[in-house]
Amino acid sequence: MTGTKQTYVGQSLPRLEDRPLLTGQGRFAADISFPGQWTMRVVRSGVAHGKILSIDVDAALALPGVHAVWTGADVAHIPPIPFRLTGLKTLEPYRQPVLAQDIVRYVGEPVAVVFAADAYVAEDAADLIDIAIEPLPAQVRATEPPGAFAEGLSTEPGVIRKGFGDIEAAFRDAHAVVSLELSVGRHSGVPMETRGAIGRYDEARDILEMHGAAKVPHWNRDTIAQMLGRERHSVQFFEGHVGGGFGIRGEIYPEDVLVCAAALTFRRPVKWIEDRREHLIAANHSRDQTHRIRAAIDAQGHILGIDNEFFHDNGAYIRTHAATVPDLAAAMLPGPYRVPAYRVAGHIRLTNKTPAGTYRAPGRYESTFVRERLLDAIAAEVGVDTVEIRRRNLIAKSAMPYTLGLETLGTHIVYDSGDYALLLDKTLAAAGWDELQTQLQARRAQGEKVGAGVAMFVEKSGLGPFDTVRVDILPDGGVDVITGVASIGQGIETVIAQICADALGVRYDTIRVIHGQTDRIDRGMGAFASRVTVMCGEATRMAANKLRDKALQHAAQLMQTGAESLDIVDGEVVRIGGGPSMPLRELARALPDGLSAEDTFESTHMVYPYGVHVAAVKVDAATGAVAIERYVIGYDIGKAVNPKLVEGQIAGGLAQGIGGAFLEEFLYDEAGEPLSVTFADYLMPTAREVPASTILITEDAPSPLNTLGLKGAGEGGANPAGAALAAAIDDALQRPGAVTRLPVTPMRLKAMTSG
Amino acid sequence: MTEKSTITLTINGHDHAIAVEPRRTLVDAIREDCGQTGTHIGCEHGICGACTVIVDGEPVRSCLMFAVQAEGKAIRTVEGLAAGDTLHPMQQAFIDHHGLQCGFCTPGFLMLAVGVLEREPDISDDDLIDVLSSNLCRCTGYQNIIKAVRAAAAEMRK
């Protein structure tokens, strides 16, 4: 009997999430409505920086269907939005108020809100609100000297400083020094579902509810409760379907606080759904860094030291991520290479642009671009090819676990496992690298501008400190897995069910994974930093094992045998070797307290997947367009629970990486006016721009930090895409170091080729 | 702008008598007045295609059409694709090929692909990718959507 037991982990099974999403039964934020609800519309600043002189709301209030208008004065008692991660003390004066108080600092900043009967009336009313603003000079470049945020507060609220080794000695002893200035443009996650939130006050139970929660429902619940002066259990958050996360969705924004405060004040459900223009000027931007980097090298191109100074354009305020993005950029920059000495200074700079936060591979899309450009420049300096220079500098497998000597997200960075050289070999083989080089040379000889590039990286994932999971056997034989994580579309219901199914001995499609409901579990960490499969997966395995042991103990009594002679197969407690069996549901019914178990997985270290991207491109010198002819990704994630979903994560990340490399950019004019406010200006890749890619998932370096060897898969598709494509363009142009800035738009590429 | 007219929208064969302002978009009417929230709103200016529905056999962006313009026309939305518990081949192909992640753009892609393939079952691969490039997806990187639509096209030709 036990020999036939099915194993779910490692199989590309169909998703449990799909059916309602395919039949129109999804419950996204805009799909949630309550009787008698009001619509909230935000009136935003049209000026990048200025002093509010007056706000005239009379005409708006006179419009039929308008219930109320709030300005800054109405919410002055609500504190600014606190930090969730990397919250340095010096950043606190720069937090964003829920509505502007006297000064506006970016186009799109909430200045007032209208509450009305429906969205059409609310928009009409918003147009009637007259805001007089006296303009102040706008700061639009983070590389220029800092100005004043407010009296006594510089627009440089902090500098991230990290390092190790003797950097002075490294440069003193260097055979050569390679210096570069590189920048990555301002772009962001831009999920297809805009943000949305519905506040509802249940007077009978004195419970404030927020629907449309995402990403980190428990933290947001606790924080909004605190901001509004309520006990945390009197506030409950509910996550429905979430139309893409990517780091940006689900952080606390002013609008989330406003719908909750309004629901309490007006005792009415209050619904806010963002429109696309608002999204592009109000939701977190990301990236936008300029790095000035120098490497000290020996005659063979071995890195002796890296010294980097960079400028991070955080926009107008410091939001929930505080210093997270520049901190990660600084801490993850060394990547898969031996760097004996390192020094970095990351200047956090505020400008009069939409505030910034994390976006898939935050800080690493940027620092991988910078590091890999540096490796390519070292190769050119030494006169070896770009693969050979990497081989010379990679951290050896024998050095694992590798203590980098830096900290980020409250953890010491220790690469837990990895065989970087092996993955490089495998990926180059999958790309047919040697043959590709021959073909490209022949085509270049015919006048074609074709080339290939390689980029390598180390990712981080599985951020703790904990995840708790409860597993319940239901009376109908189903299994509930209740977690404090969240779904942003990545397929966690399926993956967690697969892990639970193996541990418990039930079919994966009998398991329902419940997430993002603060009234079902008291604490939870949510979904970010590629943490869910690692942290929640291990917690699920532990809780399911505990439940299995419990079930077998009870069954042994009822079946009058020893627990060691029993097993659970397809939801049935069976005797090993045959005989009468008992379904789990009957066992659960037979027990006065039912059948349930809870466990918590704690972890103080992250786990570090790693990868290689290989890109081959053709540059059209006449149009400045780049066609991707081949794209191969090798990624070692220790153990793939569902390889098809892992591939999906990587392919989707790649599309976003390509967007950042070629198309996507939030542009501003000199006055701080945003120029990328529709999908006609902010261009995202379509089915035409994203090529078919070859994805090689390897399991050569399971993590020693959890039982299944899991590492996260969410960010490796995006991380080095800009770096690999830049290298391929250099090669196509036969000009090492040509690309210094992303995105490489047709206009910029044409300027490079004609220059 | 607040004067409402009474119209009847026929969605998946069912009539919905509703009162709407002339400026009300078809997508708002489908979602808010007729309660069919499977059709999504992604940009409200006709670029992302999340709101794609089929009107008299043609895929249209329901954010760019007024509700009053759709009176008397046959509107099909994602809610009408499956026959009872049996999924449409396009829906099944999206499961089989992992053609969706968050699922927000999915109804728009389903209606776009079904609408085009019903009209042009033997569409060339190049034209098919051209058609699919008119909608945006932020999760999948498109390749699995293309695979799913190709597989469903073969199934629909049977």
Residues 698-737, chain A, touching B (beta carbon < 8 A): 717
Residues in chain B: 158
Q: Per-residue confidence at A683, pLDDT binned at 50, 70, 90?
A: very high
Indicate the DSSP class of residue A476: T
Judge if B122 and B73 occupy the same domain.
no
Using a CB cutoff of 8 Å and minimum separation of 24, what contacts does B16-25 make? Answer: B18/B67, B20/B67, B20/B68, B21/A120, B22/B66, B22/B68, B23/A120, B23/B66, B24/A120, B24/B66, B24/B67, B24/B68, B25/B62, B25/B63, B25/B64, B25/B65, B25/B66, B25/B67
Domain boundary (B80, B113, B141) is at B80
Please write down the long-range contacts of A127-130, taking CB distance under 8 Å and 24 or more positions apart: A128/A59, A128/A60, A128/A63, A129/A43, A129/A55, A129/A56, A129/A57, A129/A59, A129/A60, A129/A69, A130/A54, A130/A55, A130/A56, A130/A59
Q: Is the pLDDT of residue A755 over 80?
A: no
Task: Assess whether B31 and B9 both reside in one domain.
Answer: yes
Please give the mean pLDDT across all residues of chain A: 97
Contacts of A128 in chain B (CB under 8 A): none
Q: Are A220 and A528 in contact (CB under 8 A)?
A: no
- Do the beta carbons of residue A125 and residue A68 sit within 8 Å? no
Is B76 in the same domain as B95? no
Using CA atoms, how far apart are residues A556 and A554, in angstroms rounded to an integer?
5
Which chain A residues touch B145 with a CB distance below 8 Å?
Answer: 687
Nearest Cα neighbor of A199 from A126, A116, A122, A267 is A267
Mutation choice for B interface testing from A23, A190, A684 by most B CBs within 10 A: A23
Do residue B93 and residue B75 come from a single domain? no
**Rg of chain B over all Cα atoms, to the nearest angstrom:** 16
Contacts of B44 (CB under 8 A, 6+ apart): A275, A276, B25, B63
Residues A455-480: b if buried by 16+ CB within 10 A, e if exposed = bbbbbbbbbbeebbbbbbbbeebbbb
Per-residue pLDDT of A648-657, as tens digits, reads 999 999 999 9
Query: Which domain CATH number covers B21?
Result: 3.10.20.30
Q: Which of A14, A244, A688 sits opposite B104 (nearest CB)?
A: A244
Vertex A735, ends A294 and A452: CA angle to 5°?
95
Tell me, yes or no, whether B52 and B115 share the same domain: no
Residue A4 confidence (pLDDT) = 53
Residues of B in contact with A30 (CB under 8 A): 31, 37, 40-41
pLDDT at A1 over 80: no
Query: Do B95 and B113 have their domain in common?
Result: yes
User: Nearest chain A Cα to B93, which residue?
Assistant: A22
Given this model, what pLDDT does residue A468 score? 97
Neighbours of A136 (CB within 10 A): 17
The whole-angstrom separation of Cα A344 and Cα A349 is: 16
Structure confidence at residue A61 (pLDDT): 98
Look up the pTM and report it.
0.97
The distance from CA B120 to its chain's CA centroid, rounded to whole angstroms, is 16
Evaluate whether B4 touches B19 at the Cβ level (below 8 Å). Answer: yes
Rounded to 5 degrees, φ, ψ at A20 are -60, -30
* Residues in Cβ contact with A428 at an 8 Å cutoff, skipping those fewer than 6 apart: A387, A434, A454, A612, A614
pLDDT score for A753? 86
Dihedral (C-alpha) A732, A738, A740, A742: value to the nearest 10 degrees? -30
Domain that holds residue B99: 89-157
Cα Rg of chain A, angstroms: 27
Tell me how far apart the alpha carbons of residues A532 and A539 are, in angstroms, rounded to a whole number. 10
Residue numbers in A near B87 (CB within 8 A): 19, 22-23
The rounded distance, in Å, linking the Cα atoms of B158 and A169 is 73
pLDDT digits (tens, 9 = 90+) for A136-170: 999 999 999 999 999 999 999 999 999 999 999 99
Name the nearest CA neighbour of A619 among A752, A755, A732: A732
CB A339 within 8 A of CB A414: no
Which tens digit of pLDDT belongs to each residue from A602-642?
Answer: 999 999 999 999 999 999 999 999 999 999 999 999 999 99
CB A481 within 8 Å of CB A417 = no
Q: What is the pLDDT of residue A363?
A: 98
pLDDT level of residue A6 (50, 70, 90 thresholds) = confident
Question: For A18-52, how does the pLDDT look when each residue is reduced to its tens digit (9 = 90+)?
Answer: 999 999 999 999 999 999 999 999 999 999 999 99
Range list of β-strands (E), A427-476: 450-458, 466-473
Q: What is the pLDDT of residue B1?
A: 53
Choosing from B37, B55, B80, the residue where a domain stops is: B80
Task: Tell me what pLDDT residue A703 has.
Answer: 98
Tokens of A277: 């223009």
DSSP one-letter code for A559: T
Residue entry with tokens 């022949």? A442
Tens-digit pLDDT profile for residues A232-248: 999 999 999 999 999 99
Best CA proximity match to A61, nearest among A51, A53, A70, A69:
A69
Residues B9 and B74 in one domain: yes
Q: Are the beta carbons of A686 and B136 separated by less than 8 Å?
A: yes
Q: Which of A15, A24, A193 is closest, CB to CB, to B38?
A: A24
Structure tokens, A369:
């671009």
Omega prior to A401 cis, within 30 of 0: yes
Task: Give the bridge partners for A261, in sequence order.
Answer: none
Residue of B nearest to A193 (CA): B42
**Min distance B93 CA to chain A CA atoms (Å):** 10
Binary contact (A690, B37; C-beta < 8 A)? no
Scan residues 576-605 of A and list those with Cβ closer than 8 Å to B.
Answer: none
Q: Which DSSP symbol is given to A234?
A: G
CA distances from B42 to A19, A30, A241, B105 (A): 21, 11, 15, 8
Residues of A in contact with B104 (CB under 8 A): 26, 28, 191-193, 241, 243-244, 489
Query: Taking 60 as the threshold, does the pLDDT of residue A285 lie above it?
Result: yes
Half-sphere exposure of B86 (CA within 13 A, CB side): 2
Final residue of a structural domain among B29, B53, B80: B80
The Cα–Cα gap between A696 and A699 comes to 10
* Confidence (pLDDT) at A754: 81
What percent of chain A has pLDDT above 90?
Answer: 98
Sequence letter at residue B123: I
Cα of B119 to nearest chain A Cα, Å: 21
User: Are B104 and A64 within 8 A, CB to CB?
Assistant: no
Domain count, chain B: 2
For chain A, the distance separating the N- and C-terminal CA atoms, rounded to the nearest angstrom, is 73
| Residues B121 and B64 placed together within one structural domain of the fold | no
CB A599 within 8 A of CB A539: yes
**A18:B79 CB<8 A:** no
Are residues B15 and B56 both part of a single domain? yes
Window A:259-278, CB contacts with B under 8 Å:
275-276
Beta bridge partners of A572: A569, A583
Q: Which residues of A145-176 are buried (b: 16+ CB within 10 A; e: fewer)?
A: ebbebeeeeebbbbbbebbebebeebbeebee
Give the other-Cβ count within 10 Å of A266's Cβ.
15
Place of tokens 């990301």: A286
B94 shares its domain with B121: yes
Q: Note the Cα A244 to chain centre separation in Å.
A: 10
With beta carbons under 8 A apart, name residues in chain B contacting A26.
Answer: 37-38, 103-104
Return the pLDDT at A88: 86
Shared domain check, B94 and B41: no
ipTM of predicted complex: 0.98
Task: Calculate the average pLDDT of chain B.
Answer: 97
Owner of token pair 């009136």: A43
Answer whether residue A3 shows pLDDT above 70: no
Looking up tokens 């608002």 gives A278
Domains along the sequence of chain A with CATH: 2-26+463-602 (3.30.365.10), 35-138+194-242+249-282 (3.90.1170.50), 286-462+606-754 (3.30.365.10)
> What percent of chain A has a predicted confidence (pLDDT) above 70?
99
Is A287 within 8 Å of A312 (Cβ atoms)? Answer: no
Residues of A in contact with B103 (CB under 8 A): 17-18, 21-22, 26, 241, 243, 489
Give B89's pLDDT tier (boundaries 50, 70, 90). very high
| B93 and B134 within one domain | yes
Separation of alpha carbons A693 and A125, rounded Å: 49
Reported as a single tens digit per residue, the pLDDT across A420-452 is: 999 999 999 999 999 999 999 999 999 999 999
pLDDT tens digits, one per residue of A386-395 = 999 999 999 9
A482 CB-near residues (< 8 Å, 6+ apart): A469, A470, A471, A472, A514, A517, A520, A521
| pLDDT at site A623 | 94
pLDDT reported for residue A2: 43
pLDDT in tens, A525-564: 999 999 999 999 999 999 999 999 999 999 999 999 999 9
